[in-house]
């Protein structure tokens, strides 16, 4: 049987935005156009698909996007897409609009939506983009490098004032239920302790004693990085540290600032490779994949298998950090 030629595809961004999403959209559009395929940009993720909110994208309409943070397609977390009715409406609209394939840029929730649509007959390819880097099938998700660098810059600035006042800074970084961002930021700023959901800290030994030892060695300011998904709140961590060390302690929650900004070169390059790979997968007749990076190579994997994988923390880096902060 002859494979159906792909004539029109659509692209959307969904879930929390991440720097580099625009670069991925640009790559999708450019690769599609280079292959004579029309592209529709769906606004506001799955809610745009359900409500027929889209625009035509051409090679020139993505000029200047590579370096822009956020997503020009807007994004949303769409509750309707979790329902059978919402999924069916989205699939019906894809058919109505003559969409031969859909590229969904986002994280785990985005891929679950893509899988639902693929099961309803809409070929879907996912591109991993989240600052959390918590997608199991891929060693890298678009936006992680930029978010790490942004958080590191912020903590470097905090360190100046902490050093001047001889204080402790307890800094909360994003990451949802995962500690990848916290671990990498903690490593890059030389944190005294890094608290992540994947490891329950022995508070006395892993945090308080390290600070006490540091003070004996004439270290009078400290940075503690806490992942937002850690078992204690950042304020609780700070209160306990202050009570047990007697040192003036301040809390900073970096928040959404971590999601903004122009993507780093690494994010732009990986987004470009992943966007190109996603369109290529559709052109090859693939119908339900996630683009992933494994050992530095960008490839596509079956979405169902990919979603079953479990991601663990980089234990080697975590152990190195135990040594660095000892
Ligand atoms: O998944 C990306 C992320 O930034 C998480 O790190 C964070 O927990 C969440 O999104 C915040 O979501 P919202 O922008 O909806 O508050």
Residue 192: closest CA among 224, 166, 164: 224
Contact 132 CB / ligand 1 (< 6 Å): yes
Stretch 95-113: mean pLDDT: 97
Q: What is the pLDDT of residue 216?
A: 86
Q: What percent of the chain has pLDDT over 90?
A: 95
pLDDT band of 326, cuts 50, 70, 90: confident
Q: What percent of the chain has pLDDT over 70?
A: 99
Mutational test site, ligand 1, from 176, 179, 183, 229, max ligand atoms within 8 Å of CB: 176
Q: Separation of 285 CA from ligand 1 center, angstroms?
A: 33
Contact 115 CB / ligand 1 (< 6 Å): no
pLDDT digit string, tens, across residues 262-318:
999 999 999 999 999 999 999 999 999 999 999 999 999 999 999 999 999 999 999
Stretch 94-105: mean pLDDT: 97
Closest ligand 1 atom to Cα of 228: 8
Residues in Cβ contact with 83 at an 8 Å cutoff, skipping those fewer than 6 apart: none
Taking a C-beta distance cutoff of 8 angstroms, is the pair 146, 119 a contact?
Answer: no
Q: Separation of 110 CA from ligand 1 center, angstroms?
A: 13
Stretch 54-72: mean pLDDT: 97
> Average pLDDT of the chain?
96
Q: Separation of 142 CA from ligand 1 center, angstroms?
A: 14
Q: How far apart are CA 76 and CA 221, in angstroms?
A: 40
* Residue 2 reports pLDDT greater than 80: no
Strands 101-106 and 193-195: unpaired
Q: How far apart are CA 279 and CA 139, in angstroms?
A: 20
Q: Separation of 16 CA from ligand 1 center, angstroms?
A: 5
Q: Whose CA is nearest to atom 13 of ligand 1?
A: 16
Q: What is the pLDDT of residue 309?
A: 95
Contact 222 CB / ligand 1 (< 6 Å): no
Helix axis angle for 234-245 and 209-216, nearest 10°, is: 50
Closest ligand 1 atom to Cα of 131: 2
Starting at the edge strand found earlier in the chain, the sheet holding 54-57 runs: 54-57, 38-42, 8-13, 101-106, 124-128, 288-294, 297-302
Closest ligand 1 atom to Cα of 258: 4
Which residues are registered as beta bridge partners of 299?
292
Stretch 150-171: mean pLDDT: 97
Does residue 298 or residue 326 have the better pLDDT?
Answer: 298
Residue 134 is a catalytic residue: no
Alpha carbons within 13 A on the beta-carbon side of 301: 21
Contact 221 CB / ligand 1 (< 6 Å): no
Q: Whose CA is nearest to atom 10 of ligand 1?
A: 16
Please state the φ and ψ torsions of residue 8, each to the nearest 5 degrees.
Answer: -140, 130
Q: Separation of 128 CA from ligand 1 center, angstroms?
A: 15
pLDDT digit string, tens, across residues 196-223:
999 998 999 999 999 998 888 888 999 9
Q: How far apart are CA 274 and CA 20, in angstroms?
A: 11
Stretch 102-108: mean pLDDT: 97
Q: Quote the DSSP letter at residue 142.
A: B
Closest ligand 1 atom to Cα of 181: 6
pLDDT digit string, tens, across residues 172-199:
999 999 999 999 999 999 999 999 999 9
Quick one: CA torsion of 305, 310, 315, 321, rounded to 10 degrees? 110
* Residue 4 reports pLDDT greater than 80: no
H runs (alpha helix) in the chain: 21-34, 45-50, 84-96, 108-119, 144-165, 180-189, 209-216, 234-245, 265-283, 303-308, 315-324
Q: What is the pLDDT of residue 240?
A: 97
- From the candidates 17, 100, 132, 134, give the one annotated as an active-site residue: 132
pTM: predicted TM-score of the whole model, two decimal places: 0.97
Closest ligand 1 atom to Cα of 132: 6
Residue 81: closest CA among 72, 73, 90: 90
pLDDT band of 1, cuts 50, 70, 90: very low
Taking a C-beta distance cutoff of 8 angstroms, is the pair 133, 144 a contact?
Answer: yes
Mutational test site, ligand 1, from 174, 196, 260, 261, max ligand atoms within 8 Å of CB: 174
Stretch 134-161: mean pLDDT: 98
Q: Separation of 280 CA from ligand 1 center, angstroms?
A: 30
* Residue 3 reports pLDDT greater than 70: no
């Amino acid at each position: 049987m002859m494979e159906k030629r792909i004539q029109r595809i659509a692209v959307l961004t969904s879930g929390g935005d991440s720097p580099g999403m625009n670069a991925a959209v640009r790559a999708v559009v450019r690769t599609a156009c280079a292959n004579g395929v029309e592209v529709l940009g769906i606004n506001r993720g799955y809610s745009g698909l359900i409500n027929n909110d889209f625009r035509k994208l051409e090679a020139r309409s993505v000029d200047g996007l590579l370096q822009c943070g956020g997503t020009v397609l807007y994004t949303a977390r769409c509750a309707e897409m979790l329902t059978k009715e919402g999924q069916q409406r989205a699939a019906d609209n894809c058919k109505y609009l003559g969409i031969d394939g859909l590229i969904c840029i986002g994280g785990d929730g985005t891929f679950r939506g893509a899988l639902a649509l693929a099961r309803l007959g809409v070929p879907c390819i996912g591109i991993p983009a989240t600052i959390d880097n918590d997608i199991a099938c891929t060693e890298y998700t678009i936006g992680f490098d930029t978010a790490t660098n942004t958080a590191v810059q912020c903590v470097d600035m905090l360190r100046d004032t902490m050093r001047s006042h001889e204080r402790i800074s307890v800094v909360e970084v994003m990451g949802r239920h995962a500690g990848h961002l916290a671990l990498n930021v903690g490593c890059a700023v030389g944190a005294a302790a890094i608290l992540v959901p994947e490891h329950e800290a022995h508070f006395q030994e892993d945090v308080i004693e390290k600070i006490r030892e540091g003070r004996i060695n004439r270290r009078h300011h400290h940075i503690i990085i806490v992942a937002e998904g850690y078992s204690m709140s950042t304020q609780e961590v700070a209160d306990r540290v202050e009570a047990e060390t007697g040192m003036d302690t301040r809390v900073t929650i970096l928040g959404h600032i971590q999601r903004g900004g122009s993507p780093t070169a690494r994010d732009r390059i990986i987004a470009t490779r992943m966007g190109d790979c996603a369109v290529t997968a559709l052109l090859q007749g693939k119908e339900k994949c996630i683009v992933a990076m494994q050992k530095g190579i960008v490839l596509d994997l079956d979405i169902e298998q990919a979603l079953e994988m479990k991601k663990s923390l980089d234990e080697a880096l975590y152990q190195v950090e135990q040594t660095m902060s000892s």
